[in-house]
Structure 1
Amino acid sequence: MSTIQQPAAAVTARQTRQIMKGFAAQLSGRGERGADRKVRRGSYDVDDRRARISRPIGDGTTAGALGWIDCLLKVVSEWDDAERRKGGARPLGLHGMRVLEALLGRRGGVGIDFRTGCIEPALDTIAKAADVSRTTVVRALNTLKRIKVLDWVRRTQRTGKDGLFGPQREQVSNSYAFTPEAFPARLLRRFRDLLARKRLARQNTLSGAPPVPAEPSCPEMRAALARMEATIAFRSEGQNASTPCGQYHRSGVEG
């Protein structure tokens, strides 16, 4: 008789402890996690205002957003090249740039709302769009966060399951937001200069005026551009040389 009662008593005691822990967690404000052990700490419910970090891409228009994306990719690519020239490895490299392009909607498979900036793909979705492994995606995201290109927030949603001991919440995809305003000063100046040139080119196109290149605000950059222009002019004398120009195949905006 006692051998049957002892397991039952142990189960009852364990349930009592779980109930007491649940009540204590709710009273202390930690009730959201409860028994959901697989929910990562620091996560917010999808309806929590702290989980809403989206912001418009550029000015929110299609043309403005595509130009903004071109400028961001160019700045990050230049930074990646510069870090390699210092004697080290590329922090992002080819695969890391693919992850960034995927998040910006450049490789298909990841939806991006220019007006709201809503970007909420799962890690596996990003990996498939960028044609890289999930581990590579995680590594690239951490690097992009470190250099202030983007930030994200972990999110959860309620399962709708009843019962105290059942999982009440489950992890869902992160919400991402680009944060170039937090760039190091030199990268931020470069980004703003590129944006100014894009805006001026758009205005000239709309008005029918011939394109006028914008003057970079950085003195070192002005000097470098002047040297480049002089070199191009010298090499093109007596030759049918032309300066190559890049173009993003999806946006149609010259980079």
Structure 2
Amino acid sequence: MSAVNGTAPTAQAVRNLIRGTSAQFSEKSRGPDHGEGHRVPRRLSYDVDDLRAQPWKKVGDGSHAQGVIHREALVQSAKEQRRQDWKELPNRRLREIREQRDTLAAELAALVAQGQAPIGRPATLRHEIERLDATIAQADGRLRRVDITVLEALLEKIDFATGALFPSYETIADWAVCSRNAAIDAVKRLKGRGFVDWVRRSIRTNNDGEFAPQREQTSNAYYFDHRRSMAPRTWQRYMQILVAKLRRLGAVPAAVARGAPAAPREVQYAPLRAALASAASSFDNAST
């Protein structure tokens, strides 16, 4: 195979050529791999009819009353988490950390240029730079206002009886009145904090007889698994809010009502988790 414009063909170009030639011999026409209606499935995508692509579960007991309570509890805990995120790491502090990191990086570069061995001061600088980088990365996960809006938009569409919800990013953006990219970033941050999760899904295409993908990516199936994915403190606060709201509805089992703490104390939440797990199934392993 000859090079084009003086450059060697890429491995992908070689594979495409082989596939195209094979398709010609088999009298198949090659269709597009990408574009509208041709999104190649990503890793760990399941067919829409596969049970693994249906992770949802009814919200609470499936009633509208309990569903609204679970929705309110999750949104309230997300709002509180957002305020806490920005209180612990405001932009002013983040700018200081970035400046400190740049100063240390400049010093390290100067020492390396001088040929200094990677021990002593250089090693200390690298360790401190890694610590600052971790804090900067943490700032990227702070919840934003748009994240709360997207969460509220998702939860407004809950089918309390089944918990099923699988909108496209375009639909989520339309619900939340934001851009598609903003919706994507929002659900990623919400997932990172344990407020939502999803399973990738795929469907068969109509490309039979064509040398083209036989499956394509479709919208994600969203679900909630807070106990597994939330940080312990966030989970505890969510549970405290949920129990208080369920108690007012009269829907908290007696065992939970007697043992539920009035304040989010770590030692008191172990029995609360166990008691509430079976009775107030909340959004754990549920999907919207």
* Fold-level similarity (TM above 0.5): yes
**Counterpart position of 1:57:** 59
Structure 1 distance, partners of 2:186, 2:209, is 39
- Asked whether the 8 Å contact 1:161–1:168 carries over to 2, the reply is yes
- Output the aligned Cα RMSD: 3.4
- What's the CA shift for 1:198? 1.4
Quick check: 1:15 aligned with 2:21?
yes
CA 1:19–1:172 in structure 2 vs 1: closer, same or farther (change >3 Å)?
farther
Structure 2 distance, partners of 1:13, 1:172, is 25
- Asked whether the 8 Å contact 2:81–2:143 carries over to 1, the reply is no
1:46-195 matched pairs, under 5 angstroms: 46-88=48-90, 91-105=142-156, 111-182=157-228, 183-195=230-242
Q: State the one-letter code of the partner of 2:146.
A: H
Structure 2 distance, partners of 1:18, 1:54, is 44
Of stretches 120-129 and 55-64 in structure 1, the one that deviates more from structure 2 is 55-64
Superimposed CA distance per residue, residues 192-249 of structure 1 (whole angstroms, 9 cap, x where no aligned partner):
1112111211118xxxxxxxxx6425248x9xxxxxxxxxxxxxxxxxxxxxxxxxxx
**Counterpart position of 2:42:** 41
- What's the CA shift for 1:40? 3.2
Is there any run of 5+ residues in structure 2 with no aligned partner, and where?
A: 1-16, 27-31, 92-138, 252-259, 269-288
Q: State the one-letter code of the partner of 1:123.
A: Y
- Asked whether the 8 Å contact 1:36–1:169 carries over to 2, the reply is no
Q: State the one-letter code of the partner of 1:124.
A: E
**Counterpart position of 1:29:** none
- What's the CA shift for 1:51? 1.1
> How high is the TM-score relative to the length of structure 2?
0.57
CA 1:19–1:84 in structure 2 vs 1: closer, same or farther (change >3 Å)?
farther
CA 1:200–1:12 in structure 2 vs 1: closer, same or farther (change >3 Å)?
closer
- What's the CA shift for 1:120? 0.5
Structure having the larger proportion of residues in helix: 2
Of stretches 44-53 and 84-93 in structure 1, the one that deviates more from structure 2 is 84-93
SS of equivalent to 1:141? helix
Structure 1 distance, partners of 2:243, 2:146, is 29
Superimposed CA distance per residue, residues 1-32 of structure 1 (whole angstroms, 9 cap, x where no aligned partner):
xxxxxxxxxx9995338999xxxxxxxxxxxx
Superimposed CA distance per residue, residues 140-186 of structure 1 (whole angstroms, 9 cap, x where no aligned partner):
11111111111111111112332141442222111100222121111
> How high is the TM-score relative to the length of structure 1?
0.64
- What's the CA shift for 1:57? 2.0
**Counterpart position of 2:12:** none
- Asked whether the 8 Å contact 1:44–1:154 carries over to 2, the reply is yes
CA 1:81–1:14 in structure 2 vs 1: closer, same or farther (change >3 Å)?
closer
Structure 2 distance, partners of 1:93, 1:13, is 46
Superimposed CA distance per residue, residues 98-145 of structure 1 (whole angstroms, 9 cap, x where no aligned partner):
11111101xxxxx32112110111111111111111111111111111
Structure 2 distance, partners of 1:164, 1:145, is 37
Which structure's relative contact order is higher, taking Cα pairs within 8 Å and 6+ residues apart? 2
Structure 2 distance, partners of 1:175, 1:127, is 16
Number of matched pairs: 189
- Asked whether the 8 Å contact 1:189–1:217 carries over to 2, the reply is no
Is there any run of 5+ residues in structure 1 with no aligned partner, and where?
A: 1-10, 21-34, 106-110, 205-213, 223-255
